[in-house]
Amino acid sequence: MLHYLIYMSHATQPMSDNNLDEILATAVKNNIEKDITGMLVFIDEQSAFSDHGRFIQVLEGSEETVKDIYKTISKDDRHNQITELFSYPIKQRNFPDWIMGFKRVSDTSSVPDELNKWFDPDHFPKEMNKEGVNIPLTYLRSFYDIHK
Ligand code: FAD
């Protein structure tokens, strides 16, 4: 059964392009082997919620593999405040040919307000919006829709 998991987290250190390349290189190496696909976005913003920026990532693959890799990622000290948003079965992958898509978002005005709410512990919606739209997944998927 295919499964997807979305989490968000906060970087614990300034993230240079080299730091991010290192994460991505490891992700690609492991994800190919484990048949994991998905998308990782780094929002390069210092804010009240985050000193060094924020990550949001979707992982998809077999349930066991996704949960295993998430467990590993959760222990990584390059980020903290790791919050699982969604973990559900899916019929088909949203990122079928992306071992791990990646985007560094430096223009933070491009991040939708609706998504920012998910990073605000006081307003954390923990659910899809009224229309049943999965805002974090829609945001991640927007990068795929542009490039595919
Ligand atoms: P190793 O061989 O142990 O390490 C690979 C490289 O990463 C080495 O160069 C090592 O020096 C460096 N490294 C490892 N841990 C640290 C650390 N704490 N600080 C600095 N450098 C370090 N892994 C995946 O497999 N798939 C993913 O999709 C994925 N996404 C990630 C997303 C985020 C936001 C972060 C922070 C990490 C992610 N990782 C991912 C990495 C994951 O947390 C583990 O580091 C990795 O899976 C360990 O794999 P390995 O044992 O093959 O790597």
Please give the C-alpha separations between residue 63 and each of 26, 41, 60, 66, 103, in angstroms, as whole numbers: 20, 22, 8, 5, 25
Is pLDDT at 130 greater than 70 in this prediction? Answer: no
Alpha carbons 7 and 39: distance in angstroms, whole number: 11
Residues with a CB atom less than 6 Å from ligand 1: 22-23, 26-27, 30-31, 40, 55, 57, 69, 72-73, 76-79, 100
How far apart are the CA of 139 and the centre of ligand 1, in A?
24
Is pLDDT at 124 greater than 70 in this prediction? Answer: no
Confidence at residue 14, expressed as pLDDT on a 0 to 100 scale: 94
Please tell me the pTM assigned to this model: 0.92
Minimum-distance ligand 1 atom for the alpha carbon of 29: 25
Residue bearing the bigger pLDDT, 128 or 45: 45
Mean pLDDT of the chain: 89
Alpha carbons 134 and 127: distance in angstroms, whole number: 8
Strand-pair category, 101-105 with 54-62: unpaired
Confidence at residue 100, expressed as pLDDT on a 0 to 100 scale: 93
Identify the residue whose C-alpha is closest to ligand 1 atom 1: 26
Confidence at residue 45, expressed as pLDDT on a 0 to 100 scale: 84
Is pLDDT at 122 greater than 80 in this prediction? Answer: no
% of residues, the chain, pLDDT over 90: 68
User: What is the tens place of the pLDDT at every residue in 48-88?
Assistant: 677 899 999 999 999 999 999 999 999 999 999 999 988 99
Confidence at residue 109, expressed as pLDDT on a 0 to 100 scale: 85
